[in-house]
């Protein structure tokens, strides 16, 4: 039988949340592999063991396992009984069909009462693998490592550990709503919060039909990509053009960006309870653009009825770009679009908006109605991963 062996960071398992952590991780793991026909999933201490079907490749399993936050590393292993012949057989099955110039066998036992030493296992299995693959032994820098972990009554044979996604299982820290623009920053902010255990929904403000649908499509693509880390996600698409028209008619140019952003906070705050989100998440980073000075961030944040999390606040742009590339969102984010916030705003917007100015400007608007209308006209798209199988009728 083949297993996925997932390992949790010991530190994460300390304290009273241990049980919740493992249960959440199990359920997330099952969800991300729901179409692969995996079997039982059991937890033992800091290790999770999932039965794998024979017909699914190691690569396909690894790709999915790497999406699950909360796992420090994982391996794909064959189980054997704690006997030399059985271990050797499992090792030969594991290396079947592999082409390597050199290899090493590394064995460890947790039970010192076993009738053989780790060295003996390495020698015996090493000889069998060498005969089968016809390749050289290299103990310091092998191309292929056969790893054998032996417990009292069972042994696992794998080709080594792969790094997991780390962090905390999605859902363990509660739920949040991300303000997802089509830009580079907000998808990275979303990734970082999911990795801290927050389950996310997304909201995107678009100015269609005043502007093209490009940002709408980008938001869909980004949400779909990010949904893979939590198996499902909702994206709320909010029409923003009417509200912008009203702001443009009544508010002087330099203040408009701040007012757009405050309105976004209010609308997102109104949508949050339905999505069970108790915090908003943005991709703001201190000093990056005019709207992200400390003064403006404070005044924009004040309009939000629930806490605003800004996971990128202390990051440099190049660090954010690097993460976006690794995440695969960068290529989507740089596609040309028309950002709603550049609409009717000057090249030099207000960088230090004062509360009195903002209050005076907002008193000329019917904010309650603007929020209400935007929420009523918002559309919802749901993404699931893996995509549900579509069965043809009959
Ligand atoms: P990003 O790359 O995420 O767009 P940015 O550097 O362009 O960020 P701003 O345009 O000032 O910065 O936006 C700051 C944050 O406000 C964004 O990270 C995002 O969370 C939110 N935001 C901006 N525009 C929108 C939008 N159209 N829809 C949803 N959220 C938005
Ligand atoms: Mg932007």
Q: Is 159 inside any structural domain?
A: yes
- The residues that bridge with 48 in the sheet, in sequence order, are 6, 43
For residue range 267-321, list pLDDT tens digits in order. Answer: 999 999 999 999 999 999 998 777 789 999 999 999 999 999 999 999 999 999 9
Contact 223, 202 (CB under 8 A): yes
186 CA: nearest ligand 1 atom: 3
CATH number at residue 310: 3.40.50.620
Is 231 a domain residue?
yes
Distance CA 43, CA 182 (A): 39
The residue whose CA is least distant from atom 26 of ligand 1 is: 181
363 assigned to some structural domain: yes
Q: Which ligand gives the minimal distance to the CA of 218?
A: 1
Q: Which CATH number does the domain housing residue 102 bear?
A: 3.30.2130.30
pLDDT at residue 247 above 60? yes
The pLDDT confidence band at residue 16, using thresholds 50, 70 and 90, is: confident
* The domain boundary residue, chosen from 163, 198, 233: 163
Pairing outcome for strands 47-52 and 41-44: antiparallel
Shared domain check, 318 and 280: yes
| Band of pLDDT at residue 336, cut at 50, 70 and 90 | confident
- The ligand minimizing its distance to the Cα of 257 is 1
Query: Has residue 98 been placed in a domain?
Result: yes
Residues 195 and 79 in one domain: no
How confident is the model over 121-179, as pLDDT tens digits? 999 999 999 999 999 999 999 999 999 999 888 899 999 999 999 999 999 999 999 99
Atom of ligand 1 lying closest to residue 203 CA: 29
Residues 38 and 84 in one domain: yes
Q: Is residue 375 part of a domain?
A: yes
Assess whether 48 and 195 both reside in one domain: no
Q: Domains in the chain: how many in total? A: 2
Nearest CA to ligand 1 atom 16: 282
Whether residues 376 and 309 fall in one domain: yes
User: If you average pLDDT over residues 230-244, what whole number do you get?
Assistant: 97
* pLDDT for the residue numbered 362: 97
Residue 314: partners with Cβ closer than 8 Å, 6 or more residues away: 285, 286
pLDDT tens-digit series, residues 71-86: 999 999 999 999 999 9
Token pair of 77 as six digits: 């292993």
Range(s) of the domain holding residue 370:
174-384
Q: Are residues 180 and 250 in the same domain?
A: yes
CB 65 within 8 A of CB 49: no
In a domain? residue 169: no
Q: What is the mean pLDDT of the chain?
A: 93
Owner of token pair 């979303």:
190
CB atoms within 10 A of CB 369: 11
What separation in Å is there between the alpha carbon of 284 and the centre of ligand 2?
9
Shortest-distance Cα residue to atom 8 of ligand 1 = 185
Sequence-distant (6+) residues with CB within 8 A of 21 are 8, 12, 13, 70, 168, 169, 172
Same domain, 184 and 87: no
Final residue belonging to a domain, choices 131, 163, 195: 163
Whether residues 377 and 256 share a domain: the answer is yes
Question: Which secondary-structure segment (H or E) carries 178?
Answer: strand 174-179
Cα 179 to ligand 2 centre (Å):
10
**Strand, helix or coil for residue 245:** helix
* Any atom of ligand 1 within 6 Å of the Cβ of 75: no
Given pLDDT bands bounded at 50, 70 and 90, which one contains residue 12? Answer: low
Beta-ladder partners of 108: 149
51 and 11 in a common domain: yes
Q: How far apart are CA 240 and CA 251, in angstroms?
A: 16
| Domain-embedded: residue 389 | no
End-to-end CA distance of the chain: 35
CA of 187 to the centre of ligand 2 (A): 11
Say what the pTM is.
Answer: 0.92
For ligand 1, what atom is nearest to the CA of residue 182? 4
Do 252 and 343 sit in the same domain of this protein?
A: yes
């Amino acid at each position: 039988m083949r297993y996925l062996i997932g390992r949790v960071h010991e530190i994460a398992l300390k304290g009273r949340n241990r049980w919740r952590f493992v249960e959440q991780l199990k359920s997330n793991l099952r969800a991300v592999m729901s179409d692969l026909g995996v079997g039982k999933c059991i937890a033992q201490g800091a290790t999770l063991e999932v039965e794998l079907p024979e017909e699914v490749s190691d690569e396909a399993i690894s790709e999915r396992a790497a999406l699950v936050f909360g796992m420090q590393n994982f391996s794909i292993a064959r189980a054997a009984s704690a006997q030399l012949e059985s271990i050797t057989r499992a090792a030969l099955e594991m290396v079947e069909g592999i082409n390597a110039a050199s290899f090493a066998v590394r064995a460890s036992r947790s039970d010192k009462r076993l009738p053989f030493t780790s060295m003996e296992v390495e020698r015996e299995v090493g000889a069998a693998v060498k005969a089968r693959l016809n390749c050289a032994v290299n103990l310091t820098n092998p191309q292929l490592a056969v790893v054998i972990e032996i417990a009292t009554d069972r042994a696992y044979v794998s080709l080594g550990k792969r790094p997991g996604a780390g962090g905390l299982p999605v859902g363990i820290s509660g739920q949040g709503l991300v303000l997802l623009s089509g830009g580079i920053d907000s998808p990275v902010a979303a990734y970082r919060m999911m990795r801290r255990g927050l389950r996310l929904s997304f909201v995107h403000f678009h100015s269609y039909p005043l502007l093209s649908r490009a940002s709408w499509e980008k938001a869909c693509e980004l949400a779909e990509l990010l949904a893979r880390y939590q198996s499902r996600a909702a994206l709320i698409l909010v029409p923003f053009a009417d509200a912008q028209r009203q702001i443009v008619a009544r508010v002087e140019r330099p203040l408009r960006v701040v007012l757009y952003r405050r309105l976004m906070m209010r609308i997102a705050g109104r949508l949050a309870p339905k999505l069970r989100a108790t915090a908003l998440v943005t991709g703001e980073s201190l000093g990056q653009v005019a709207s992200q000075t400390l003064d403006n961030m404070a005044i924009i944040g004040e309009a939000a009825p629930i806490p605003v999390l800004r996971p990128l606040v202390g990051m440099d742009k190049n660090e954010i770009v690097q993460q976006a590339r690794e995440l695969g969102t960068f290529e989507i984010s740089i596609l040309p679009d028309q950002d709603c916030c550049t609409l009717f705003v000057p090249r030099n917007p207000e960088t230090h908006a004062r509360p009195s100015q903002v209050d005076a400007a907002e008193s000329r608007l019917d904010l309650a109605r603007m929020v209400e209308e935007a929420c009523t006209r918002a559309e919802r798209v749901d993404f699931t991963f893996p995509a549900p199988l579509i069965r043809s009728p009959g």
